[in-house]
Amino acid sequence: MEYKLQKPVHGTIGTSKYQCVIEWRNGQFIADEPVVQGGKDTGPDPYTLLLSSLASCTLVTLRMYIDRKGWDIPEIKVNTNMWQSKEGDNTITIIDRDIIFPAGLEPEKKNRLLEIASHCPVSKMLEGNIKVRSYVFHEEEVDRKLKYSNEDITVVWKPELCKHSGRCVMQLPKVFNLKTKPWVTMSGADTEAIKAQVEKCPTGALSWVYNKPESPEEPAIDSEF
């Protein structure tokens, strides 16, 4: 299982209500809350960001399909909005998506494009099974560090910080496997793949360092793990 994004979306908030700096692969932008919610409205609010994701995914998916078909449709527009209602303890969210095609487009093409839109990746995700998992990311030092090396790098594991979320085990099972001893097999993947996986550890339990050529190699394993 691989993450969709090579680089996670990174957000930071300070004390200025409620400006968040959101960093993405190629830059950053501000997210905020509207004035009515106590923010300054200097950027999109979280609901707007969610609906923007659906709008852009719809448009990109339709454009790819239209281009593949060679249809002459110079512009498509989308409006997205949502409303919520309560059913007992449950909150029901309905998202409405209106797709605006140029006047005169044949009904068969409109119907086909409506169907294609319903299969865009973000639509499928929103209508599928979503779970949000949260972890505390530690930056403090802990005493116990277990080390695993190949010829390039040493992976350091701090068991006290490991929440056993299984992220590493699921995503790089040839290296991280709780059924083997040691549980980290450095020969299971190349150095770049191991580095990339280590950097995805949500809690800071895993980190890596380059081996120093001048120093004698440290023992690969210093515990029963």
Choices 98-106, 138-146, 160-168, 216-224; region in contact with ligand SF4 by CB under 6 A: 160-168
Question: Would you say 59 or 156 has its CB closer to ligand SF4?
Answer: 156
Helix (H) or strand (E) holding 28: strand 27-31
DSSP string spanning 136-167?
Answer: PPP-S--S--EEEE-SSEEEEE-GGG-----H
The Cα 57–Cα 54 span in angstroms is: 5
- What are the tokens at 215? 């120093």
> Whose Cβ is closer to ligand SF4: residue 67's or residue 160's?
160
Residue 153 neighbours by CB under 8 Å, 6+ apart: 191, 194, 195, 208, 209, 210, 211
Least distance in angstroms from the C-beta of 182 to ligand SF4: 13
* Assigned token pair, 98: 């209106």
**Which residues ranging from 197 to 216 are in contact with ligand SF4 (CB under 6 A)?**
201-203, 205-206
Interface with ligand SF4, residue 165, by CB under 6 A: yes
158 binds ligand SF4 (CB under 6 A): no
CB of 185 to ligand SF4, least distance (A): 14
Residue 20 Cα distances to 10, 14, 37, 105, angstroms: 10, 8, 14, 42
How many of the chain's residues bind ligand SF4 (CB under 6 A)? 12
191 sits near ligand SF4 (criterion: CB under 6 A):
no
Nearer to ligand SF4, 61 or 197 (CB): 197
The contact set with ligand SF4 (CB under 6 A) reads 162-168, 201-203, 205-206
